[in-house]
Amino acid sequence: MSGRPIREAIRHKRDGGELDEADLQGFVSGVVAGSIPDYQAAAMLMAIYFQGMSDSELAALTGAMIRSGDRLNISSDQPKVDKHSTGGVGDKVSLCLAPLVASCGVTVPMMSGRGLGHTGGTLDKLESIRGLRTAFSPKEFNRIASRHGVIIAGQSDRIVPADRILYALRDSTATVSSIPLISSSIMSKKLVEGLDGLVLDIKVGSGAFMREIEDARRLTETMIGIGRAHGVATRALLTDMNQPLGREVGNANELAEAISVLRGQGPPDLTEIVRALGIAMLEMAGYEDSAGLIDRHLASGDGLKKLAEMIKAQGGDPRVVEEPGRLPQAAHTRRIRAWDTGYVTSINTRDIGLAALSLGAGRLTMKDQIDRGVGLTLSAKVGDRVTEGDVLVSLRFNQPPGADRAADLVRQAYTIGALPPDPRPLIIEECN
């Protein structure tokens, strides 16, 4: 299969033409082999950025990206279903959802990411557990997923190498924010897992990648279309990210909050999303009474037991599920208090994410180190009534200068008004 020479392919795309499968296979193979130089790859990305992509181009690009490296082949008799979230602040859903769904008899082979900028990453949170590994060869990944029904790990260099190269080019050429490029990037890394079903949690709001519902809907439809074209049933929930999810933002404290969900003691918003996504995952796996099954496994502690099993299989200390006090803790606490009496009418979620970053809980570049014991606890959330002097947020920190900046950001993030805000649904809509 040979496509147009790269210069021709760029020109064709630039002028609004449609690339065929051979063109896109040639582009991806050439980028990975190094035969297409960065300047031509970047020009192609810019042409896609401006011209968009048709459904068949999206399917072909994603397919070529999947074929650029190893594929996972998990030997399990159980259905394999995963979840992907587009990321937000306080989003620790994967940490409790994956073991919960696995405890119901579905294999969840979850490849996850690290935090960057104002959003945290599942791997960083999980690595708060001493000794726990998230880097595995495809063989080890398969062994853990098939034996234990669940794994949460990073992507090895041999999985979708095209995405690493293209993402770095996008990052330096201002072409990240393109729905076709985002969709093919995310979907290639999920479809390589060899899934029977995929559930997407598309976050919308001030702390999300997609701030506007229309953009979130376009991203959702594009991703569902790619899943379908590759024969993987894909569903999505659009969920609100106009305030952090749960009360904890950071790393170790978020993991502790995820553990509390599996004890049946999690905050209502986080528990609601975990239940809804869990039900969708079980439905995709062909289960009847998915809601009953999820509730029974939450109440019985089976999800918690599965989390401990997963932590042990990944080399970590499973005692943290019974004793979260074993997780890293910060040395100092500072409380930010309400400056007025009234209702919390909004929380700029991005600012809360940036406050966590200032404390050292996140990173600005992939080389930065993070401090897993630091973070924020939100005592007041949107709609809560507060009296002047009440604690809004507690900052947990090790480095005082970062805490000063975080305190300013928290004060800037909260709005207190005389009237309660209109309630917003947490689950905005569901798309199949």
Active site residue 218: no
Q: How far is it, in rounded angstroms, from Cα 379 to Cα 62?
A: 43
Minimum distance of ligand URA from residue 24's CB (angstroms) = 17
273, two tokens: 């999303």
Stretch that binds ligand URA, among 176-184, 273-281, 302-310, 371-379 (CB under 6 A): 176-184
Residue placing its CB nearer to ligand URA in the complex, 185 or 242 = 185
Candidate list 185, 242, 348, 358; residue touching ligand URA; CB under 6 A: 185
Sheet with 81-85, edge to edge strand ranges:
81-85, 197-204, 233-240, 427-431
* Of residues 4 and 170, the one with the C-beta less far from ligand URA: 170
- Least distance between ligand URA and beta carbon 181 (Å): 6
- Closer to ligand URA by Cβ: residue 169 or 308: 169
Residue of 58, 182, 216, 386 interacting with ligand URA (CB under 6 A): 182
* Closest among 370, 326, 432, 371 to 116, alpha carbons compared: 370
Q: Does residue 427 contact residue 275 with C-beta atoms inside 8 Å?
A: no
Q: Which of 12, 114, 189, 396 is catalytic?
A: 189
How far is it, in rounded angstroms, from Cα 424 to Cα 387?
Answer: 23
- 367 as an active site residue: the answer is no
Query: Buried b vs exposed e over 3-28: b needs ≥16 C-beta within 10 Å?
Result: bbebeebbebbeeeeebbbebbbbbb
148 is catalytic: no
Taking a C-beta distance cutoff of 8 angstroms, is the pair 314, 132 a contact?
yes
Q: Which is nearer to ligand URA, 101 or 181 (CB)?
A: 181
Stretch that binds ligand URA, among 25-33, 135-143, 177-185, 216-224 (CB under 6 A): 177-185
Question: Which residue bears the tokens 């999947």?
Answer: 66
Nearer to ligand URA, 114 or 235 (CB): 114
Angle of CA points 283, 288, 291, to nearest 5°: 70
Kindly name the residue from 4, 125, 170, 217 that is annotated as catalytic: 170
DSSP annotation of 113 reads -
Question: What residue number has its CB nearest to ligand URA?
Answer: 185
Catalytic residue among 83, 84, 125, 203: 84
Q: Is 186 in the site for ligand URA (CB under 6 A)?
A: yes
Angle between helices 302-313 and 290-300 (to 10 degrees): 70
Q: Which is nearer to ligand URA, 188 or 242 (CB)?
A: 188
CB of 167 to ligand URA, least distance (A): 6
Choose, from 23, 163, 240, 269, the residue flagged as catalytic: 163
In angstroms, what is the minimal distance from the CB of 79 to ligand URA? Answer: 24
Catalytic hit among 156, 185, 188, 290: 185
Between residues 46 and 181, which has the closer beta carbon with respect to ligand URA? 181
Which pairing describes strands 248-250 and 233-240: parallel, antiparallel, or unpaired? unpaired
The one segment of 13-21, 175-183, 302-310, 367-375 that binds ligand URA by CB under 6 A: 175-183
SS (H, E, C) 317-328: CHHHHCCHHHCC
What Å distances lie between residue 195 and 64, 192, 199, 284, CA to CA? Answer: 17, 8, 11, 11
Write the DSSP assignment of 182-246 as a string of letters. HHHHHHHHHHTT--SEEEEEEEESTTSSB-SHHHHHHHHHHHHHHHHHTT-EEEEEEEE-SS-SS
| Active-site residue, 163 included | yes
275 catalytic, yes or no? no
Rule CB under 6 A: which residues touch ligand URA? 167, 176, 181-182, 185-186
Catalytic residues: 84, 163, 170, 185, 189
